[in-house]
Amino acid sequence: MTNKIPPFLLGIVMLAVIAAIMQLPLDKIITTSHFSGFQIEYLILGAKMLLIFSIGLILVLKLSEKALSGISLNYKWSFKYLNLIPCYLFLLGIVTFMGKDLSSINIFNVLLLLAACLLVGFAEEFVFRGYLQAVFLKKYIAHKNGIFLGILFPAMFFGASHLLNFTVNDNVPQVIGQSIYAIFIGFFFGVVLLKTNKLIPLAITHGLINFFFLFGSLPNLNGHSDSHTAPELEIALTEQILSSVIPLLIFLPLFLIGLVLIRNINREEIQKKINV
């Protein structure tokens, strides 16, 4: 059935489904009488991502392209070192909270943040790399630039999914910047998936990147409170733009590395993976 539906339509439908799930009013179920504001935020995020991951897993299994999706046991985990390349992002995340007092951090909050971030990684990787990328590759593999397009288009849908942040963030340059560097990392992950044959390591790496970058948001870290109600200071547009450029420069190397690696991907090898 999936083969008869245009990949771009499938991508749009997936974005609509993700948008609908992210708008679910789960905050009506979890109250502050049992959990803090931080805990509610990440419990809700984790629940929504678990639902998206479940949909992604079902779609991947239904597609029956285990080799393309990176879940086939017939293909070994190759070029494992490629999964270590994004580790520089872990270090950048760690730098943001080095030297701060970690003694007052609630361990439950740390585990909750880690679980939610890993669920984000698994949800997004199974939907965009495991499912959509396999669909696009099947569609475009016969084209001259089929591998490039088969990786780029799902990465662009991945970037478009981050535009949903406009519902909670009115910082336009920041949200647009997030969408662009999501394309960068999505393209890199797409290439690495084809090189390594394994999706789960990418999902874990994805989750850990989010975890280390969000670790500094933990309550009580260096005096940060758990309140989410304090008004934010208005930031000048110029400052917003400048602050959005830095993440682009941080993630750009991954995109460039992906462009180098993709040149070594053999079209015939990818074709062999179809329906394996």
Q: What is the mean pLDDT of the chain?
A: 90
Q: What is the pLDDT of residues 107-143, one digit of tens each?
A: 999 999 999 999 999 999 999 999 999 999 999 999 9
pLDDT on residue 225: 56
Runs of H (alpha helix) within the chain? 7-22, 37-63, 66-69, 87-95, 107-124, 134-140, 146-161, 172-196, 200-214, 237-261, 267-273
For residues 76 and 72, give the distance between their C-alpha atoms in angstroms, rounded to a whole number.
8
Question: For the chain, what are the domain ranges?
Answer: 2-273
Q: Tell me the whole-structure pTM to 2 decimals.
A: 0.91
Indicate the pLDDT class of residue 81, thresholds 50, 70 and 90: very high
Indicate the pLDDT class of residue 236, thresholds 50, 70 and 90: low
Question: Count of alpha carbons within 13 Å of 61, Cβ hemisphere only?
Answer: 6
For residue 64, is it left (φ>0), alpha (ψ between -120 and 50) or beta?
left
pLDDT on residue 230: 43
Evaluate if residue 165 carries a pLDDT over 50: yes
Indicate the pLDDT class of residue 53, thresholds 50, 70 and 90: very high
Evaluate whether 129 touches 193 at the Cβ level (below 8 Å): yes
Q: What is the chain's Cα-based Rg?
A: 19
